[in-house]
Every structure is written in structure tokens, then in C-alpha cells.
Chain A
Amino acid sequence: MNEKLKINFWRLAILVVGVGAWEWLTGIKAVSKIPGLYFIDPFFISRPSKIVERFFYLNSDKVRLTLWQMLLSTVESTFIGFFVGVSTGFVAGLVLGRNDRLARIFEPYIIAFNSLPRIALVPLVTMIFGFGLLAKVVLAWMIVFFIVFFNTFQGARSVDPDLIHSARFLGAREGQIMRTVIIPSALAWTFASLTPSISFALIGVVIGEFIGGESGGGIGYLIISSLGTLNSADMMVSLIVLAITGIVMALGIKQVEMRLLRWRPEYQPKG
């Protein structure tokens, strides 16, 4: 308990000192012959006070899309991409994992597609799906799909044959074996890939918004348009909001994962 308090104290101390130093060092003038030069130029890294100010400005009705609306758009696309990616990845992993011939047929295509850096596809996806929600969702899907696919594939392959045998001795038919043995075994692997998947879905969406976010906005769009206006404060606002969103989503999914996998030894309550 005491230890926990100490840890939290130091965490807070680092934050306060860091933000304080940032505010102070970007506020003082440098010793230089050129007048008006800052010790550290807030033009590039902005200042905490400026960031707070912009945060409220971006949430006011003075802008076309508020920060809140932008965030909502990003989160919405992330979740849609995540769910579509998880479900399609799961189905594909299960089907190929239980069918050796199909797996061998598709293997080179899957490897080729997976080796391709997803970011290289952004322009093409934007060209096909336009500057809206769909392109972002497709990007998130393409990343999540493969994470979930490979996990589920592995899971479907490594089903313990003795579990299948014991089900058969208990009178299970093929469909029942699928439902009560293979799917639950594979799902354990699928669930374990949910937490990384949500983070990667967010990456896909933000990349998509860099290029194609215009109509619906989105945090990625805010970042890239701040680059256009050389506005580091807005960028910082976006980054902080994005970091918090990422943490909240990952923690939320982690909770879901723990709930779904509560039968696993590592999730058993200790003591």
C-alpha cells in the first residue's frame, strides 16, 4: 500500500515537473543577439497553456467540426473496423485452420498480402472507397483481420485431439464437436488477440484520416490539417486526446477479454 503510494507520487511528480519545465522553458527568452528568440521555441512544440486554450477553442462552436465530433468519428471507425476485422478474421482463421487443403491453397496469397505494409495501401483504398468513413474502416479492417486471422488459425490448428476424442466418446456429432470443442478452443486464441487488435485498428483509422478524413473529420485529419497551418498546439491537443482514447479503448477491451477468458489459469483470482 505504502509502496503503491510512493509509485503514484513519483508518477505525479514526473508529470508536474515535465509539464512545468515545458511551460517555463517555452516561455523564457533565449540569451541571443536576435531579439524575440525563445529558449525553446513554442512554435514547434507549443506550450501547455496554449494547448489547454486550443483544446477549449476546438470544442467551441467557432469551428466547423468540434474536437468531440472528430473524436467520435475516429472512435466510430475504429470500432467498426475492429468488429468487422475480428469477425471476418475469426471465420477465415477457423475455416482455413480446419481445412488443410484450403490453407495450403491460400497460404502464398495470405503471406504476400500480409507482408505488404498496410500503409502503402492507403492511397489505393482512398481512391476506391473515397474520403469518408468507409476508407478508414477498410484500413482498420485490413490490419485487424490478419492479426485475428493468424491467431485463430493457430488456435484452430492446435485443438487438442484428445478433447475431440473425448467429445466423440461422449456421443458428439461433427457439428457438436465444432460448436463445443473447436470453436471454444480457437476462440481462446482469438480473444487473446483482441487487445492488440483494437490498438492496431486505431492506427489504421488515423492513417486513413491523414489522407481521407476530410469529409467526416477525425483526429488524424485534425493532425494533418494542423500540419497545413503549422499549428503545433492543435497537433498536441490531437495527440493527447488520441493517447487517452487509445488507453481507454485498450483497457476496455482488456476487461472484455478477461471476462471472456475467465476460465484460464492466468485469469484466476489469486489466493
Chain B
Amino acid sequence: MSRLRIQIGDLSKTFREGGREVPAVSRVSLDILDKEFVALVGPSGCGKSTILNMIGGLIAPSDGQVLIDGSAVRDVPRQVGYVFQKDTVFPWRTVTRNIALGLEYRGVAGPEQERRVAEAIRLAGLSGFEEAFPATLSGGMRQRVALMRTLIVEPEILLMDEPFGALDTHTKLGLHAELLALWEAKHQTVVFVTHDLSEAITLADRIVVLTRRPGKIKLIHEVKLPRPRDVIKLRETDEYAQEYSQIWRVLGEEFAPPEGGSAPLPAPPPGLARAKPALEQGGSADTGHAV
């Protein structure tokens, strides 16, 4: 049994919008173990990014708290790396100088810096683009730079806010494979926010399904797919399809129109077309402590 890494206790966040109080996150409690890969999924606007930002110390909770390694998060915690959905690669720095940023901040210079940056560039498959400015790179390459820039300082905890949300499917799959390979090597604790269920199943150990705004935990689901996972072949397996339909049955309700209509939005799970309809044992896969 791994030790506890992140403890989220009764976490709530209410935003003020023009004098009106808008609850974004409502009483979320979740324990995340060391080396665990957890995905938060839910419809857009359900507060999943808000939860991530509270773990990262970017915004303060209205109520409740986040503990990392037992101490409450106030400012940006030292052991945490964060990958944004938005392109946060510094446009005025070359690939090399972007990846070197974290080392520069920590005073790692000279040959040590060069060696580690070169290694990161090789790992990210960015060889030949060392001196390129981000403007000349594709979206996928830029996000790889952002990922390596975060990983080079070896954070023990990695927070990822829809990091591949803006990319096309093929680029995304490639990056899933790369991320999993990097994660297998270092086993960081990862909290990964996405609205893409297949992405969550491919990557995570546990999937936390959130409700519509204000976000509450609806389901915590353990993904029972063996590792290491092949991101392409995985999608053709029955196990994957089962996982998908189990979660979708719960998540799909959250995508339904807020009132009146009962039909869920047409978002058929990919690969489920082949799946057998006999998926009735679903509930047992839940870990049970859904709110």
C-alpha cells in the first residue's frame, strides 16, 4: 500500500460573478496515493480545472483544504509540476532554452544543464529542433516542449489540465504513449484533468467522475487495465469497451440537457460498436465512496 500523497478534504470553491455567488466545486473529498495516476473527468465547466488549480495552489479554496504530503497548500508547492492546456511555452525562447528554464531557476547551469536538456530533447523526440522558436513548431511539438520543461525538474507530483485538449486525435495518441512511457520510468503522482473519457481510461489508474456545475464527485472508478498499456491496441480490447460503457453510463447523464430532455447527448463511445451489450456487472467496479 502506497502512502497518501494528496488529501483533498471537503473542498469547495465559490466564485463571485458580478455580485452573484456561483458555486464551482462543492464538497469534494479525495485521497490520492503516491505514484497514482488519477484522471478527473466531467462536462466542461464542472470545476475540474478549479480543483486542479486548488491542488496547485493557484487559487485558494472557499472551504475545505488540500494537503500535500500532510501540509496544507498555500502557495505553489515545490514538488509539483503543472502542464497547462494553453500553450505556455515562452515564445521568445528556443526549444532548448525553454526546456532549460526550470534548471535555470534552480541554479543548475553549465555542462550539467546542457546534459539534462539534451537528454530531455532526445526523450521528447525534438532532436533537430533545439534552436527552433516555438512559432515554427506544431501544436503537438510545443506541448511536448511544455511537458519536458515540466518533467526536467523531476516533480514528484504532476498536475495536467487537459494538456492535449487542443490537439488532433493522432497527435494526441502519440503523446499518450509518450506520457505513459515517461510515467512508467519515474512513476510521478499524476492528476490529469480531461473531458475525454477515452483519454482518461487509456492513462489513468483511477477515474473520478464529476457532476455538472457545481462539481461534486459522482463516481470513483478503478481502471483495471494492465500496464504497460499500448494506447492503440488498448482501444480494440473488450476490457477497454467495458470500462468505457461502465463509466459512460454515469458520466453520460452529466452531459444530458440540464432540464426536461432525458436523452443523453450523442457521444457514442468509440469502439463500443463492437462491444457486447452484456455489461451488467458494472456497479461492482466502483470503489464505492462516491459522494
Contacts and interface: CB of A to CB of B under 8 A. Distances in A.
Interface of A: 160, 162-163, 165-173, 176, 180-181, 184, 188, 262-265, 268
B81 A264 contact: no
A169 B150 CA distance: 8
Contacts of A160: 88
B101 interface: yes
Contact of A172 (B58, B82, B105): B105
Interface in B75-90: 76, 78, 80-82, 84, 86, 88, 90
B90 A170 contact: no
A264 B82 contact: no
Contacts of B153: 170-171
Given A162-B84, A180-B90, A184-B90, A170 B135 contact: no
Contacts of A176: 104-105
Contacts of B101: 167, 170, 172, 180
A42 B81 CA distance: 76
B92 A170 contact: no
Given A162-B84, A169-B76, A171-B153, A264 B91 contact: yes
Interface in B43-82: 56, 58, 76, 78, 80-82
B136 interface: yes
A263 B82 contact: no
B150 A170 contact: yes
B90 A181 contact: yes
Q: How extensive is the interface on chain B, given as a class?
A: 20 to 34
A111 B153 CA distance: 46
A171 B88 contact: no
Interface string B119-150: 00000000000000111100000000010011
Given A180-B101, A188-B92, A165 B82 contact: yes
Contact of B135 (A166, A171, A180, A264): A264
B56 A169 contact: yes
Contacts of B136: 268
Contacts of A188: 92
A270 to B, nearest CB: 11
A227 B88 CA distance: 58
Contacts of B94: 263
B80 A169 contact: yes
The 8 closest A-B pairs by CB, nearest first: A170-B102, A263-B133, A265-B135, A166-B88, A171-B105, A169-B82, A172-B105, A168-B76
Given A169-B155, A171-B153, A263-B91, 7 more contacts: A169-B76, A170-B102, A176-B105, A181-B90, A184-B92, A268-B133, A268-B136
B134 A263 contact: yes
B102 A171 contact: yes
Interface string B86-121: 101011111000000110111000000000000000
Q: Which among B88, B92, B93, B106 has the highest number of chain A CB atoms within 10 Å?
A: B92
B136 to A, nearest CB: 6
21 contacts: A162-B88, A163-B90, A165-B84, A165-B88, A167-B101, A169-B150, A170-B81, A170-B102, A170-B149, A170-B150, A170-B153, A171-B105, A171-B106, A171-B153, A173-B105, A176-B104, A180-B101, A181-B90, A188-B92, A262-B133, A268-B136
B120 to A, nearest CB: 13
Contact of B82 (A163, A166, A173): A166
Most chain B Cβ neighbours within 10 Å, of A176, A181, A263, A268: A263
A180 B102 CA distance: 11
Nearest to A170: B102
A265 B91 CA distance: 9
A176 B107 CA distance: 11
Most B CB within 10 A of own CB, among A160, A166, A168: A166
B26 to A, nearest CB: 25
Contacts of B149: 170
Nearest to B152: A170
Nearest to A176: B105
A165 B76 CA distance: 9
B3 to A, nearest CB: 23
Contacts of A181: 90
A173 B102 CA distance: 11
A219 to B, nearest CB: 37
